[in-house]
A and B are shown apart, each in its own frame.
Chain A
C-alpha cells in the first residue's frame, strides 16, 4: 500500500526556536497533502491543505505565519513551526492523497510529537 513517512518522529525544542517537520510520500505522487494536529485524547484537527506548487489553504483559526507549509514537490511537504512556544506542543500528523484517480483516500504518516520547553 501507499506509505507516508514523517521526520522526525519526536522533537524537543526550546521556546522561541523554529522546528521543521517533513512529510514524504514514499511510493506515490501526492498532489495534495494535509496537516493535522492532535491533542491528547482528542480528535485530529485539520490545520491546512497544501497542493503542490501553490500556497497552502489554512483552516480558520490557524496562524499562517506561525505554521509555515511548503509543498515544493509531489513527494514532500514541510511544516515549520516558527517561534515555538509550549502551547504548540502537540502531535502533528500529515496525510497525502494520490494525484491520480485515487479519489478521496488519504494516506497518513505516523506523526511527529513536538515538545516545546
Chain B
C-alpha cells in the first residue's frame, strides 16, 4: 500500500544553518505530495505541496521538489530561524484526494 517514510528526529540546528529533512514515498498511481508543519500547541498547517513530477513547492523559504525517479520529496531551507522549530510531516494523497497518508514526523529544534 501507499506509505511515507521520513527521517527520524530530532534534528537540532543552529540559527542560519541549512536544513534538509528527507522524505520518500511508496505509492501507486500519481499522488500529490505535501509538507505539513505543527508548531507547539497548534494544529497541522499546510506548508507546501506539489501535485506532479518535477513540481517544486515553496513557502516561507522552504522548498521541496517532487522527484518521481527517486520517489522523494525532501524538504529544504537555506537558513533556518528559531521560529522554524516545530514538527514537520511529509504526506501524500491516496484514494483520489480523499485521504492523507502521513510520515512519522520530524521534530526540528533551532537554537540561537
Contact = CB atoms under 8 A, between A and B. Distances in A.
A104 B32 contact: yes
A44 B89 contact: yes
A97 B93 CA distance: 14
B13 interface: no
Interface in B86-103: 89, 93, 97-103
Interface size bracket, A side: 20 to 34
Nearest to B9: A41
B112 interface: no
Contacts of B4: 43
A98 interface: no
Nearest to B6: A43
Interface string A19-45: 000000000000010100000011110
A111 B89 contact: no
Contacts of B99: 34, 46, 49
Given A43-B89, A46-B99, A105 B104 contact: no
B51 to A, nearest CB: 9
B46 interface: yes
B97 to A, nearest CB: 4
17 contacts: A34-B100, A41-B104, A43-B103, A43-B104, A43-B105, A44-B44, A44-B89, A44-B102, A46-B99, A46-B100, A49-B98, A104-B97, A105-B46, A107-B43, A109-B43, A110-B42, A111-B43
